[in-house]
Structure 1
Amino acid sequence: MDSKIKKVAKSGYVSKGVVYFLTGVLAFGAASGLGGSSEGKLGVLEFLQKQAFGNVLLGIMGLGLLCYSFWRFYESIIDPEDIGSDAKGIGKRVGFFISALVYLGLGVFSIYQIVKPSGGGGNSKAKMIPLEVLPYVFYAVAAGLALKAVFQIVKAYKGDFLGKFQLESLSNINTRKTIKWLGYAGLVSRGIVVAIISYFFFRAADTASTQDIKGTSEAFAFMRESYGPWLVATVAMGLICFGLYMFIMAKYRKFQD
């Protein structure tokens, strides 16, 4: 594989890691009473923009997310690592394509936050979709998210993700253990959050109302209200682990040549 493509992929992994790491940190702070309630991917981007040199940080993050989006599009269309065109391979590549669209949106949003004129806005959440079509759209999204949640947890259970690292080639046993446990904790936690968001979309489909569409922030609020701050803090720590796991992906992931 071209070395430039590898660098783009690694830049994307780092940016994705930052997003999940800060999502976990902000959620943990909210659960423990140490911070605000800026949870979720968009909350992370807002948090970055409020820091010193915020627009610079947001621009770097946006470019990194666009790199990750490019890598996912490349994986889904070019198939550089021979995932294949059987049912399992097509499923994975469709998942990569959807992931690419999500991170393309986040990357574009990050850049837009820097260049947009002040005072703009508007709340047009899903209003472009005809009301009679909304339930079908929401059921489709909910089913996709549910499958993603199951995939994340099964991936952790089977340890499939470990194949990307070729652990036998790593001489340091502590590095191998770190990769394993960060991966397990991060994938399970991410699966829990995605499953809750899927539930919100199923509920929105039943009512055909955009009021029930929720994201990561509301998923944490749901856990906090239903099960208390301890579950939120535990899942938040798992997302921090997933962020660290992405950093390890950037450093140790093996690409097929």
Structure 2
Amino acid sequence: MLPTPRRRLELLARLGYAARGVVNLLIGGLALLAAFQRGGSATGSKGALQTLFFQPLGTVLLAIVALGLFGFAVWRLCQAVLDADGHGRAPRALVIRLGQVISAIIYAGLGVFALGLVMGWGSGGQGEEQSARDWTRWLLSQPFGRWLVGAVGLAIGGAGLGMMVKAWSASFARRLACEAATARWVIPLGRLGYAARGIVFLLVAGFLLLAAYRTDPSEAHGLGGALLSLQAQPFGRVLFGLVAFGLAAFGLFEFAEARYRRIEAPGDQGQPGPARARTA
């Protein structure tokens, strides 16, 4: 018997969380290797996908991840457009849903990038650092360009602060359906992961704001550049290693979400569902 549309959506969403876990685990793992000078590198999502592509069975693995990334994009659209999580239409809820639309676009783009590697459409294009600077240069060339870049920086900074709040409050636990014994290791992974991502987002936002202030696109950095900037700070190697560890932890947390996240089809919010994560 073919799965129902609701079941297909759930499978796509869970594969999507797993694919996001692969990407973040690779980003964190490569950064950890770099922190311990074991041959890794500070890279972003595209660099992680390229790394996976060049591993044994990389084409097969990347094709599965690409499917997952497209599935996650579909799930994000359901969250945003159909309000699958039941946020409502309050101003704060609309901001969250707009963020989910942007997330859908980003992950669909990553899926296209991964599929391009699998199909041999290109070598992967320019690096993420150059891409960040090119986008910043393009925005700066538009009317009110400095304000546009500043607005993007503030939006990314707001997302980073939101992640820090999630790390502190563990609000993500409300959407997990797992027993207390499982929650005792899943929730700390999520807290550590969201905190690390929040730091990286705030760094990227800071560089964009600096680029807007100086009208200089060379000040913009992607995820890899933001990570490397930590090394220039006091105790930089330690900070770099801790954030890298947090990003890897977020990858593991995404695997847990793939298993335990409550996936509700639009209109299911009022229906009884599995028990949520319990920490007592």
TM-score, normalization by structure 2: 0.84
Q: For the residues of structure 2 that align with 1:190 and 1:33, how far apart are their CA atoms?
A: 22
Letter in 1 for 2:141: L
Which residue in the other structure is 1:201 paired with? 208
Deviation track 1:122-153 (CA, whole Å, cap 9, x = no partner) reads 77723655614432231121011110011001
Percent of pairs with identical residues: 31
> For the residues of structure 1 that align with 2:182 and 2:68, how far apart are their CA atoms?
25
- Superposed CA offset, 1:195-250 (max 9, x none): 10111111111233322221110011100122321111111111111111111111
Q: Which runs of 5+ in 1 are unaligned?
A: none
Q: What residue number does 1:254 align with?
A: 262
Of 127-136 and 8-17, more deviation after overlay is shown by: 127-136
What letter corresponds to residue 162 of structure 2 in structure 1? F
In structure 2, do the counterparts of structure 1 residues 6 and 43 end up closer, same or farther at CA, with 3 Å as the change threshold? same
CA–CA distance in 2 between the matches of 1:58 and 1:149?
28
Distance in 1, Cα, partners of 2:42 & 2:243: 16
Question: Residue 33 of structure 1 aligns to which amino acid in structure 2?
Answer: Q
In structure 2, C-alpha distance between the alignment counterparts of 1:119 and 1:255, rounded to whole Å: 36
Q: Which amino acid aligns with 1:232?
A: F
TM-score of the superposed pair, with normalisation by structure 1: 0.91
Segments of 5+ residues of structure 2 without an aligned counterpart are 269-280
User: Cα 1:212–1:116, aligned 2, differ >3 Å: closer, same or farther?
Assistant: farther
Q: 1:120 to 1:146 in 2, by over 3 A?
A: closer
Match of 2:60 among 56, 69, 73: 56
AA in 2 matched with 1:209: D
Instruction: Compare 147-156 and 36-45 and name the one that shifted more.
Output: 36-45
Match of 1:143 among 131, 141, 154: 154
- Give 1:243's aligned amino acid: G
Instruction: Tell me, in whole angstroms, the C-alpha distance in 2 between the residues paired with 1:117 and 1:180.
Output: 40
- Superposed CA RMSD in Å reads 2.1
Structure 1 residues 56 and 209, CA gap change in structure 2 (3 angstroms)? farther
Q: Within 2, Cα distance between the matches of 1:149 and 1:130?
A: 23
2:41 counterpart SS class: coil
**Separation in structure 2 between the aligned mates of residue 240 and residue 194 of structure 1, nearest angstrom:** 16
Match of 2:276 in 1: none
> 2:263 aligns to what SS in structure 1?
coil
Aligned to 1:84: 88
Aligned pair count? 253
Counterpart in the other structure of 1:210: 217
Instruction: Tell me, in whole angstroms, the C-alpha distance in 2 between the residues paired with 1:209 and 1:105.
Output: 26
